[in-house]
Structure 1
Amino acid sequence: MPLALLRRPDPDHLDIVHDGECYRIAVRRRPTARRLTLRVSAATGEVVITLPARSAIATAQRFAASHGGWIAARLARVPERVPFADGAVLPLRGVPHRVVRRGSRSGVTRAEAGGAEPILSVSCGEEYVARRVRTFLEREVRGDLDRAVAHYAVKLGQGPARITIRDTRSRWGSCTAGGALNFSWRLILAPPLVLDYLVAHEMAHLREMNHSSRFWTLLGGLCPEVEAAEAWLKRNGTALHRYG
């Protein structure tokens, strides 16, 4: 009987203990993997172990346990999470805003000036704050994306098939072969030049589906802030995943 039919289903995760702390590790098996690997997401803090087709779970458990110190060190670098809650401070277009819940009646989330710092005013019950803040941010980024896409569509003489907003981890934006653009809603947290640059970048792929010299020449002609935006993302991009 083939080995694959004899093996028990893999668990969703492994737990290891290091210096009194318990760490949960997600299990992924990939037939193309050649060796055991561990990865800690700098964005979310998720720890993942990847197994080749024939590696045993017991072997993966021992491997993970032997790297407990490495896992702890990587997790210590992950920025602290900031939930969307009353009193939380989060950036809106790069400017810190404090979330302030006003009353328990259902209402619209909006940005406004409040004393010494800008605020996001949220009118709803406490249990709905996170949802309303997220909805507000997605609505705001949709408007900014639509305006930027319209601007570059005029410059290029063509526009995308559609625009999709997601919560991506590895890419801030992408362009499919069919001309559909995808963006992370978290771009609304960054300064406007970052969103503008990423729209220009993905729009340029409508004409050049590559990263050739022709692509970079086209992009440079569309957007003057390429270097500044990429530098900001390199320094601060990971931290945007700590919100919400």
Structure 2
Amino acid sequence: MTAGLSGPMPAEAEIVRLAGRDVRVRWRRSARARRLSLRVDAREAEIVMTLPPRVERAAGLTLLRSHAVWVLSRLDHLPAAVPWHDGGEVLLDGRPHAIAHCPDGRRGVWIEDDVVKVSGEAPFLRRRLTAFLREEAGRRLGARLAQIGGPAGLRPRRIVIKDTSSRWGSCSADGTVMLNWRLVMAPADVQHYVVAHELAHLRHMNHGPDFWVLVAGLTPHRHRAETWLRRHGPGLLRAA
């Protein structure tokens, strides 16, 4: 969760040998980056290297190899991917829901007695379920934005629901709030905190003391939510 949106150029991926293992590295050239950086993309189980202007790929490889132990440890501790399928499970508001394929159904995707039912042909189950969850995220998170921000006079100029690989939310200087649709799978208090965090950025585009005072006034869930996201957030990113 940050106070701004980055603008990297299209990325290219390759396999790099690191400490005797092959790892997937995605290179991003960003005109806004001030320094070389690397991170582990939990969703794709790959390394993302961001290069500022005029910084060569060789410098990125040097940084990557100097952090080989940390990188490989992070990759090894990623949760296994959880593919959605008939008879599987999906989270909604932190509660597990069974997935049931209903090929003769005429309702698209719907919830019935804590079961998410998906109509249509089996090969399209994951795509239909993803589209349904994105719509649910827009509806539920949008309602939370209004519920939390309205009384405080914090109203985004625009709301964007996206599928990001590292951020749960962000707020740009023009008042646009972005939220990761996968938050709809997290418990309600986690959603509440992330929404409050981004709304607070409408008034404070930083993480200074005034920002955190405002966050505390908007939500009581900060510490529990941050702990939950550290522990379980990568699992949400690996679900599909």
> Normalised by the shorter chain, which TM-score bucket?
0.7 to 0.9
Could you tell me how far apart the structure 2 residues matched to 1:136 and 1:181 are?
21
Partner of 1:218: 214
Partner of 2:14: 13
Partner of 2:112: 112
Is residue 205 from structure 1 mapped to residue 201 from structure 2 by the alignment? yes
How far did 1:132 drift? 1.0
How far did 1:172 drift? 0.6
* Gaps in structure 1 of 5+ consecutive residues: 1-10
2:131 aligned counterpart, secondary structure: helix
Could you tell me how far apart the structure 1 residues matched to 2:150 and 2:38 are?
46
Please say if residues 163 and 180 of structure 1, whose CA atoms lie closer than 8 Å, have aligned partners that are also in contact. Answer: yes
How far did 1:82 drift? 1.3
Could you tell me how far apart the structure 1 residues matched to 2:154 and 2:18 are?
55
Which of 162, 186, 191 pairs up with 2:187?
191
Over alpha carbons, which structure has the higher Rg?
Answer: 1
Show the 5 A alignment for 1:21-100.
23-27=23-27, 39-48=39-48, 53-54=55-56, 60=61, 73-100=73-100
Structure 1 residue identity aligned to 2:87 = G
How far did 1:45 drift? 0.9
Partner of 1:177: 173
How far did 1:136 drift? 1.0
Please say if residues 182 and 237 of structure 2, whose CA atoms lie closer than 8 Å, have aligned partners that are also in contact. Answer: yes
Q: Give the TM-score, by structure 2 length.
A: 0.78
1:237 aligned counterpart, secondary structure: helix
- Bigger relative contact order, structure 1 or 2 (CA pairs below 8 A, ≥6 apart): 2
The alpha-carbon distance between structure 1 residues 173 and 63, as it changes in their structure 2 partners (threshold 3 A), is: closer
Structure 2 residue identity aligned to 1:78 = L
Please say if residues 42 and 165 of structure 2, whose CA atoms lie closer than 8 Å, have aligned partners that are also in contact. Answer: no
1:206 aligned counterpart, secondary structure: coil
Could you tell me how far apart the structure 1 residues matched to 2:107 and 2:29 are?
46
Could you tell me how far apart the structure 2 residues matched to 1:158 and 1:75 are?
38
Please say if residues 16 and 64 of structure 1, whose CA atoms lie closer than 8 Å, have aligned partners that are also in contact. Answer: no
Decide which moves more: 173-182 or 234-243. 234-243
Structure 1 residue identity aligned to 2:173 = A
Partner of 1:4: none
Decide which moves more: 92-101 or 210-219. 210-219
Q: Identity of paired residues, percent?
A: 37
Is residue 127 from structure 1 mapped to residue 128 from structure 2 by the alignment? no
Please say if residues 33 and 53 of structure 1, whose CA atoms lie closer than 8 Å, have aligned partners that are also in contact. Answer: no
State how many pairs are aligned: 227
How far did 1:151 drift? 1.2
The alpha-carbon distance between structure 1 residues 26 and 143, as it changes in their structure 2 partners (threshold 3 A), is: closer
Q: Give the TM-score, by structure 1 length.
A: 0.77
Could you tell me how far apart the structure 2 residues matched to 1:91 and 1:129 are?
16
Could you tell me how far apart the structure 1 residues matched to 2:63 and 2:169 are?
35
Structure 1 residue identity aligned to 2:149 = A
1:83 aligned counterpart, secondary structure: coil
The alpha-carbon distance between structure 1 residues 14 and 49, as it changes in their structure 2 partners (threshold 3 A), is: farther
Structure 2 residue identity aligned to 1:159 = R
Partner of 2:103: 103
How far did 1:70 drift? 7.0
